[in-house]
Structure 1
Amino acid sequence: MRFSGQVVIITGAASGIGQELCRLLARHGARIGLVDRNKPELDAFAEELRQTGSVCAAVPADVRQRDSVHDAVDQIVGALGSPDILIASAGICRASTVHDLRISDVEEIIGANFLGMVYAIEAILPAMLGRRSGQIVGISSMAALRGIPFEPAYSASKAAMSVYLESLRSELRPLEIGVTIVFPGYVQTPLLAEINGMMGSDMSSGRASTKEAAAAKIMRAIERRNAYAYFPRRLALSARLSHFMPPRMYDRVMRRIFSRFSISRRGGRM
Structure 2
Amino acid sequence: MNLTNKTLIVTGVSSGIGAELARVARFQGARVIGIDRHEPQLTVDSFFQADLADPKNIDALIERLPKQIDGLCNIAGVPGTAPVQAVAQVNYLGLRHLTQRLLPRISPGGSIVNIASILGSQWPERLELHKALAATESYSEGRSGWRPIRSPMKPATSISRKR
TM tier relative to shorter chain:
0.7 to 0.9
CA distance in structure 1 between the aligned counterparts of 2:150 and 2:12, rounded to whole angstroms:
15
Q: Which residue of 1 aligns with 2:25?
A: 25
Counterpart-to-counterpart distance in 1, 2:78 and 2:152: 14
Q: Does 1:123 align with 2:93?
A: no
Number of aligned pairs?
163
* CA–CA separation in structure 2 for the residues paired with 1:179 and 1:124: 18
Residue matched to 1:37? 37
Cα distance in 2 for residues equivalent to 1:180 and 1:5? 25
5+ unaligned residues in a row in structure 1: which ranges?
51-55, 97-104, 196-270
Secondary structure of the residue aligned to 1:135 is strand
Give identity over the alignment, percent: 25
User: 1:83 maps to what in 2?
Assistant: 69
Q: In structure 2, what residue type is equivalent to 1:190?
A: S
**Match for residue 113 of structure 1 among 86, 91, 103:** 91
- Give per-residue Cα distances to partners, 1:163-196, cap 9 Å, x unaligned: 111011xx2x2xxxx444444432111111211x
Structure 1: distance between partners of 2:134 and 2:7: 27
Identify which of structures 1 and 2 has the higher relative contact order when contacts are C-alpha pairs closer than 8 Å and 6+ apart.
Answer: 2
Matched position secondary structure for 1:25: helix
Unaligned runs of 5+ in 2: none
User: For residues 180 and 10 of structure 1, do their structure 2 counterparts lie closer, same or farther at Cα, with a shift above 3 Å needed?
Assistant: farther
C-alpha separation in 2, matches of 1:186 and 1:151: 18
Q: Output the CA distance in 1 between the equivalents of 2:112 and 2:31.
A: 16
Alignment-derived partner of residue 186 in structure 1 = 154
Would the alpha carbon gap of residues 143 and 94 (structure 1) be closer, same or farther in structure 2, given more than 3 Å must change?
closer
Contact 2:81 2:162 in 1 (8 A): no
Structure 1 length-normalised TM: 0.55
Equivalents in 1 of 2:22, 2:150: separation in Å? Answer: 16
> What is the match of residue 94 of structure 1?
80
Query: In 1, Cα distance between the equivalents of 2:119 and 2:33?
Result: 28
* Aligned residue type for 1:49: T
- 1:161 aligned partner: 136
Q: CA deviation at 1:59?
A: 0.4
- Larger helix share, 1 or 2: 1
Give 1:185's aligned amino acid. M
| One of 50, 53, 73 as aligned partner of 2:62 | 73
- Tell me what 2:43 maps to: 49
Question: C-alpha separation between the residues in 2 aligned to 1:65 and 1:181?
Answer: 27
Please tell me whether the aligned partners of residues 35 and 60 of structure 1 are also in contact (alpha carbons under 8 angstroms): yes
1:125 is paired with a residue whose SS is: helix
Aligned residue number for residue 141 of structure 1:
117
2:43 match: secondary structure: helix
Larger Rg: 1
Give distance in 1, aligned partners of 2:88 and 2:36.
17
Q: Which has the higher strand share?
A: 2
TM-score (norm 2): 0.87
Can you list the C-alpha shifts for 1:241-262, whole angstroms capped at 9, x where unaligned? xxxxxxxxxxxxxxxxxxxxxx
How far residue 141 of structure 1 moved from its aligned partner, in angstroms, is: 2.5
